[in-house]
Amino acid sequence: KRIANIIAALQSGLKKAGAKDSPLEVNNARALLTFYLLEQGKAKEAIEVGEPFARKDRHSSQAASAAIYALVAYGQLLAQRERDAADRETLKNDPQYKEEKARMLSLAHLMVECWPKERAGDLARHEIALHLLRDEKEAEAIEELAAITPAYPSYIRTQFLFARAALQQAAQNKDNGDPKNYRKRALAALRHLPEPDAQADVETNKDYVQARLLFALELIKDKQFKEADKVLAALAPKLESLKLDEDPGKAKEKQRTFTDGMVQLSLHSSALQANDDFKAAKYQEVAKRLDALVDKFNADQLPQLRDSELGPSIIALDLRANVQLNKLDRARAAVKALQALQSEKGAEKNDDNTTAILAQLVNLITQQVAELRKKGDKDNLQKAQAGFTAILKEIAGGRKKPTPQLAFFLARCYAAMGEHKQAVDLLQRFAAESSGTDVQYHHAIQLLLVQEYLQIKEPDKARALLEEILKGKDGKPGWGARNLDAQKMRVLLLEDRADYVNAARLCDTYVNQLVRRLDDNKLKEYYFDFYYHLIYCIVKYAQQQDDAAKKAKALREAAQRLIALEKRQGGFGSEESKKRFDELLEKEADLRQQYLALKDGK
């Protein structure tokens, strides 16, 4: 009621005949009237008073204030139209909306021109930038936002907006080298972002938190881990004091969401740093960084690790580092965390959990043992094998009769460490059993047992089992007759007998069959695998020859096939496949000589 009386008094005063005799009072009255009309939700009337005043008497001390109120009124009008519109396209073609938007932008540009370093100019740039962003004119919006001064009350919000838009533009211009330095400018804005004061509104506080999280993420992308960790560490206590919503319940929920985001970024940073340290053989640094995370998780104080995609890799890395350091107590803590992770995924039985952990350990053990063998690091290899063996025994829990799945993965772990006799002892129990056993695991156990028989120098047992797999019973073909893994095992057994001619023929058969199926990535790997053994067998056949001409002819054929593969497939396949071909060329000097001569056209 009082505001209504104020509006009536101001309108009455401005109509008085002698009003023009007191220009200062008139200007004060116009600015006040614009403000109170805006407060009453009378946006059109506020514009009708404030805009003409700002345009005609721009040198008045009150004109900037009137312009601000009028611009805010325009914003309210347009926002209401946007809420009422059926869809965006219809709204864009609405004549009245287009006219009001054009008038508002015209006023905004006038404000930038008249008051470039004042609040009116900053507000106008903010409003112009928002409309440019809606019209997908990011580059223009960025320049408007960049010109806003730090004195602007919504400076934090505009800098966050600027940084997001600039990073988006930088991503789009990445192939061109980001010529306008959008990413550098975005990071500078995020780095120098001021802290909100105690009276800051909830939207400013939320944008501030999101800006700090964005800055940390970009620093992590640039491997600026120490600075990223400092940003996150400084944000943690600040987050507790910021008002994030008027509703206390919603405020707590938003605080939890931001905290989770902050912890996830911290985990991301820790994982990348630990991975770099592990590659550099800084196992002590890895353990120092990750042991604390594992302990917190085991104490149920780090639920974010459970939700993070990085959880398994962080814990596995901690496990590997502690095995290298021979800290078996720490390794067991990591295993406990892995078990908890698997349990959280909904596994109902302990055997299911154990099998899932062993499935992860297979790759972990295989990779680490292979790396140590390649380096010729015998001491650390023995240390790793002893540590892994102790952990495997603990995971298996000394079961008198493990499940087939458990036996399969446990045997693979032993095989990866070179403990082939233990692998055979485990597998033999299940090789002949099929009732009550998952068919897939039964077949996998049989094939792995064939491989392990070869490893312990019992080829007759390997051949007998493979014969059963291929031929089956009652005159019917066995399950391995059309199985590519079983056929690969045939090749290995032929190679073991030095029957390179028949091994090469078998490989050639499957190479010719698979070449028509290379659109299937899985079959493509089999293709490169058979092709590798084909080349290997031809080379070994050549080395069996006493006749120099026959030897040279076979080596030339192997080199020609190798070059043909390289040209036809654009290389030697996947990284693992290429590595194997490269090692073959390095090891077999005769093949390498022919290969290089043919490539040089000699």
Cβ neighbourhood burial of 159 (10 Å; 0-12, 13-18, 19+):
buried
Q: If we measure between CA atoms, which residue out of 154, 161, 95, 110 comes closest to residue 132?
A: 161
The predicted-structure confidence for 539-569, as pLDDT tens digits, reads as follows 999 999 999 999 999 999 999 999 999 999 9
| pLDDT score of 400 more than 60 | no
DSSP letter, residue 7: H
Q: Which of 102-111, 165-174, 394-403, 413-422 has the lowest mean pLDDT?
A: 394-403
For residue 88, what pLDDT band results from cuts at 50, 70 and 90?
confident
For position 348, what pLDDT does the model report? 44
For residue 408, what pLDDT band results from cuts at 50, 70 and 90?
confident
Tell me which amino acid residue 436 is. Answer: G
For position 349, what pLDDT does the model report? 45
For position 313, what pLDDT does the model report? 86
| Count of beta carbons in the 10 Å neighbourhood of residue 570 | 8
Q: Which of 46-55, 421-430, 434-443, 559-568 has the lowest mean pLDDT?
A: 434-443
For residue 347, what pLDDT band results from cuts at 50, 70 and 90?
very low
Q: Which of 176-185, 260-269, 356-365 has the lowest mean pLDDT?
A: 356-365
- DSSP class per residue in 167-209: HHHHHHTGGGT-TT-HHHHHHHHHHTPPPP-TT--HHHHHHHH
| pLDDT score of 353 more than 60 | no
For position 89, what pLDDT does the model report? 76
3-class state of residue 89 by DSSP: helix
C-beta separation of 441 from 408 below 8 A? yes
Place of tokens 């505001």: 3
C-beta separation of 289 from 270 below 8 A? yes
| pLDDT score of 399 more than 60 | no
For position 268, what pLDDT does the model report? 95
Q: Mean pLDDT in the chain?
A: 89
DSSP letter, residue 482: G
C-beta separation of 295 from 314 below 8 A? no
| pLDDT score of 433 more than 80 | no
Taking the C-alpha atoms of residue 35 and residue 68, their distance in angstroms, rounded to an integer, is 9
Tell me which amino acid residue 261 is. Answer: G
For residue 389, what pLDDT band results from cuts at 50, 70 and 90?
confident
Q: Can you tell me the mean pLDDT for 502-506? A: 96
Q: If we measure between CA atoms, which residue out of 441, 448, 446, 526 comes closest to residue 488?
A: 526
3-class state of residue 302 by DSSP: coil
Tell me which amino acid residue 112 is. Answer: V
3-class state of residue 149 by DSSP: coil
Give the range with max mean pLDDT: 66-70, 340-344, 396-400: 66-70
Tell me which amino acid residue 133 is. Answer: L
3-class state of residue 225 by DSSP: helix
For position 526, what pLDDT does the model report? 95
For position 506, what pLDDT does the model report? 96
Q: If we measure between CA atoms, which residue out of 40, 43, 38 comes closest to residue 2?
A: 40
Residue 190 to residues 185, 221, 451: CA-CA distances in angstroms? Answer: 9, 15, 57
The contacts of residue 33 (CB under 8 Å, 6+ apart) are 7, 10, 11, 14, 49
Cβ neighbourhood burial of 587 (10 Å; 0-12, 13-18, 19+):
exposed
pTM given for the model:
0.69
For residue 203, what pLDDT band results from cuts at 50, 70 and 90?
very high
The predicted-structure confidence for 572-595, as pLDDT tens digits, reads as follows 988 889 999 999 999 999 999 999
For position 292, what pLDDT does the model report? 95
One-letter-per-residue 3-state SS of 28-58: HHHHHHHHHHHHCCCHHHHHHHHHHHHHHCC
